[in-house]
Amino acid sequence: MVGRPVPAVPVGSPLTPSSTAPSSPLSHLLRDPVPFATIDVGTNTAQLLVVESNERSLCRLHTAERFVRLGEGVDASGRVSEAAQDRLLTTLRDHKQAALEQGAERIVAVGTSALRDATNRQVVLDRVHRTLGLSLNVLSGGTEAAWSFAAACSALDDGTGPCLVIDVGGGSTELVAGQDPAAHRPNYPAAIVDRTSLDIGCVRLTERCFDDQPPSSRAVEEATRIIDEALGATALTVDSAPILIGTAGTATALALVHLGPESEWDALHGGGFVLRHDHVQHWRRELLRLSVDEIRALHPEAMAGRADVFTVGVLLLDRVLSHFDQDRLRVSPYELRHGLALRVLAQNGMK
C-alpha cells in the first residue's frame, strides 16, 4: 500500500506518563526516518502495519490483513484451538517476512480479546516466541481502548467537543468517551473521560446466537436482547450529543459496502466519511435476508474473511446508535495497529 502521512507530531506536546521512562531500543526510530512494524492479533484478524517515523510524522508504508479467526470456539471452550494456533503461526510468519522486506527494524506485536480470555494464552505466546522469535504481548482492555481511541481520532482534523469511539471487534466491543481529542494531539488518550468494554463482538455473538445465515427471527431477537442488555448495564459517562466515531473492521467494511463493490480504502481517508443511522438500518435489513455468499458479493475485498460475522457487527452498530440516540457515525480508517505506532511515538519520541 502506498505510504500515507498522518497528522504531524509536534515536538514538545504533552505525553503519557510512560514517555518519561528512559529511552528504549525503539527510541532511535523517532530520530531517524526508518521503518518499524506493528501487528494487532485480534479475535478474527491479524493486522500488520509498517510505518516510517521521524520527529514530525508517521507515514504508512505497507499494510496487510489476514483472517486467522483465533477466537474460534474460545467463547464456548475458553481455549485457543490447535488449528487456530497453526493459522496464527502461518500468518505471523508471513507478516514478519513482509515487515522485514519493508526494512522494519523492530516489530511490536500485541494480542487482544481472544488471548485475554483464553486459559491457554501462555501456551500460545510461548509457541509464537519459540517458533518465530516474536514477543506477543497481551494488552489489557484499558490499553487496547486507549490506543484504538488514539488511532480513530488521529484521522480527524476537527475533533472538538465530546466524542464516542466505537470499536466492534471479534470478541468484544469497546466504547471510549472523550472530550476535545484534537486539543491533545498526539497524546490522544489524554482526552479519554470514560470507557467500557462489552463482552460481545461479531465472532463471539455469531457463534452464540446464529446457526445459519440468514438467521432465524428468534436468533435475531436473542442477539438484539443480549446487545441491548449489555448496553443498558453500562454506566458510561458521555456528554450530550457526542460525535460518534466508528473504527476497525465492521465500521470501515460497512462504509465500503455502502459505497459499492468497487470502492477502496482511500475513499475513507481523512475521516470525513459519515454513515447515517438510516444507512446502518438499511444494511441491517439487507444482511438479515442474505446468504453468506450474497454478503461476500457486496464487496468481495471488504467481506473476505468477514462475511459470516458481518451481520452481527452491523447489528451491534445499529443498537449502539439507537442506545445513544445518535444519527451519524463518522468512520475512521485507522485502527489499533495505527494506535500502536502512535504509542511508540508517545513512549519514545519526544521528551
Q: What is the pLDDT of residues 190-231, one digit of tens each?
A: 999 999 989 899 999 999 999 999 999 999 999 999 999 999
More confident residue, 347 or 152: 152
Confidence at 6, pLDDT banded by 50, 70, 90: very low
User: What mean pLDDT value characterizes the chain?
Assistant: 87
C-alpha cell at 12: 514538545
Give the domains, in start order, of the chain with CATH numbers. 17-141 (3.30.420.40), 157-331 (3.30.420.150)
Order of strands across the sheet with 45-53?
58-67, 45-53, 34-41, 107-111, 136-138
275: part of which helix (H) or strand (E)?
strand 274-276
DSSP 313-329: HHHHHHHHHHHTT--EE
Average pLDDT on 234-255 reads 89
- Give residue 171's pLDDT band: very low, low, confident or very high (50, 70, 90): confident
pLDDT at residue 31, as a whole number? 55
pLDDT category at 87 given cuts 50, 70, 90 is very high
Residues across the chain: 351
The predicted model gives 22-39 an average pLDDT of: 63
E strands, 58-161, are: 58-67, 107-111, 136-138
Average pLDDT for 229-246: 90
pLDDT-based confidence at 42, cuts 50/70/90? Answer: very high
Tens of pLDDT, residues 310-338: 999 999 999 999 999 999 999 998 999 99
pLDDT at residue 141 in the model: 87
The pTM of the full predicted model, rounded to 2 decimals, is 0.83
